Amino acid sequence: MKRSIQCPSCLTPLGTLNYDSIPQLRCTSCQRKYGVVYGKLSQRNSMREVLLYLTAKLPRFYKRHYEFRIITPSRSLQVLKFSVPGAEDGIPVRRGDMISLLYTTQGYVLKKLIAITNHTTGSDYLLPSPVPSPGYLVATRGTVSATVFLSLLLTGANIFLLSMLSAASLLLYAKLAHTAQLTSPPLQMNVQEESRLLADQKLLTQKYSLEQRLGELKHESAANQALISQLGSLKRKMLQFDDKLYANRIRRTTSAVGILSKQMSNNQRLVSEYSRMIKMIEIEVETAQIADQLPDAENFTKTILRKLAELKHVEEYNQNLRFQLEANEEVRRMQA
């Protein structure tokens, strides 16, 4: 099923969700800006709260509290806590579903929760009304309350009575208000699921470092190839002019070309092995996203990290070759 999302205001497609989905989107039609969380629902809790119940004959008022734990494709944990009016559990998502949360933002922070989409079943849940964050409620309602309080105070109202009414109003509002909070809690090693996420995050950190190192190695190999060509041209000129006069410089040039060739050979091996490691990490992280916990997941992680440790010896050998090149007088002349 195509995992896409659309603007709830004008129904314009906002884009397709995947591993590299960005956390913020802007509608090209109405220019509204949204925050997005996309991932696998690993845990879902729901609890009903009775707000008002006087007698069995009178109406009852309820609200329902939810907690969603979502594992994103980048292997981070996002926790959404929110409440909506009503007694029934009507949000069509279950553990293991791929879901997305759409919300308006204040900077990069959730301002109001707008909609929840279940990409596994293709169903959408548009909240009856956007659910504001606690911070947004404090900012808006607090400003209004302070304005009303000051207005009444200036008209000569009783301060004690005002204070009591304000406190009672705030408590009642806190009881009745619906809020939404999105957090990314620190992961715990003693929790199996979170321990696996920590391991995957370590792999992804290695992947980003390897991608950067690949670029450096390719650039270094291109520079070494150009230097070998320059040294080869210089050596031919010295041989043609007087091989005895330039014997020492010819020897140093030959030595430098040999060192550069070894370095390029090592770089080629590192590029090949690092590319393989990146593919393995991508497969491992994608597999972990599909399956909650595989019996051999830890073994694969250890294999990848052990192989990377082995390749450090090649990097160290290349570093020694660089020191030898820096000591070569002919190379210093070429790079001066």
Chain segment 142-171, per-residue pLDDT in tens: 555 555 555 555 565 555 555 555 554 555
Least confident span in 25-34, 84-93, 268-277: 25-34
Taking each helix axis from N to C end, the angle separating 134-154 and 159-176, rounded to the nearest 10 degrees, works out to 160
Give the rounded distance of the alpha carbon of 5 from its chain centre: 19
Q: What span, in angstroms and rounded, lies between the C-alpha atoms of 79 and 71?
A: 9
For 253-267, the DSSP string reads HHHHHHHHHHHHHHH
Q: What span, in angstroms and rounded, lies between the C-alpha atoms of 32 and 7?
A: 8
Higher-confidence residue: 38 or 106?
38
For 43-86, the DSSP string reads EEEEEEEEEE---TTS--EEEEEEEEEEE-TTS-EEEEEEEEES
At residue 79, does pLDDT exceed 90?
Answer: yes
What are the tokens at 14?
Answer: 């906002």
DSSP label at 185?
A: P
The three-state secondary structure class of 181 is strand
CB 64 within 8 A of CB 88: yes
Average pLDDT score over the chain: 79
**Confidence band of 294 (pLDDT split at 50, 70, 90):** low
What mean pLDDT do residues 83-109 have? 86
At residue 308, does pLDDT exceed 80?
Answer: yes
* pLDDT per residue as tens digits for the range 58-68: 556 788 899 99
What mean pLDDT do residues 73-78 have? 88
Give the pLDDT confidence score for residue 28 in this predicted structure.
76
**Confidence band of 278 (pLDDT split at 50, 70, 90):** very high
At residue 193, does pLDDT exceed 60?
Answer: yes
* pLDDT per residue as tens digits for the range 43-63: 999 998 877 565 555 556 788
b/e sequence 131-156, b meaning 16+ C-beta within 10 Å: bbbeebbeeebeeeeeeebeebeeee
pTM: 0.70
Nearest of 159, 100, 108, 109 to residue 138 by alpha carbon: 109
